[in-house]
Amino acid sequence: MTFLAAAIQMATKSDKPANLERAEHLIRLAAARGAQLVALPETFNWRGKRADEPRAAETLEGESIARMARLARELEIHLLAGSIAEIAPGEEKRYNTSVLLGPDGARIAVYRKIHLFDVDLPGRVTIKESDAKLPGTEVVAAATALGTIGMSVCYDLRFPELYRRLTFAGALILAIPSAFTFPTGEAHWETLIRARAIENQCYVIAPAQFGPNVHGFSDYGNSMIVDPWGRVLARAPDQEGVIVAPLELDYLERVRRELPALGHARLNY
């Protein structure tokens, strides 16, 4: 089976209605280009000051996921709503939550980011995601008509054991919606994405945030779609937009058959 997949690159700000309008425009553009799987970046619906996040957070029944569900149903696509700040009942902190929607608009899977980005690069960027977010606990491999999709978010990319577990759970496609900082992205983004694709013999879709953000630093962009041999099929330029590439599952099976490394694994995850 072969189908087109799209990764959307955004520069999300603190105006949620404007962000949702922009996301819808880009999703419609991707669908018009024939994409059957469309992926949005991390925090696609809102990015603002941490003090404002409690007011911007939503439940999975809130306006952001509801609007994405209506679009998925109207356009008859699989839609990965990159991530939102999800309200956690009874908690002051929130989850960083990715939602996969089917062509009928129904939720196929929900993944809450496991690895939180707590980093201090002096003079460049300091972030402590755990101050505002709760870590998820569940590894999520979502069975779909297009193949099983392994779900993750941004900083998860640095933890190969997560992707090996997803692959052993049947994943053929790894989704990595992100907001990688420029310093870490320039150094490691492409290398890590291609490594995850090669070592797991999977397609990787990595939609990302781009450009200066409300936190005072820049996001790296470079949204990518990579094949199971580690080849970059599509890369976004330095702007908002859509990249599209074919995912050929017969080719994936050939890669796994001719280089059966997954079958040679000796350690359990």
Enumerate the active-site residues. 42, 113, 154
For residues 223 and 208, the answer to whether their CB atoms sit within 8 Å is yes
Q: CA geometry: angle at 180 spanning 178 and 223, to 5°?
A: 60
Beta pairing class for 35-39 and 78-87: parallel
Residues 6+ apart with CB under 8 A from 68: 23, 27, 40, 79, 81, 99, 101
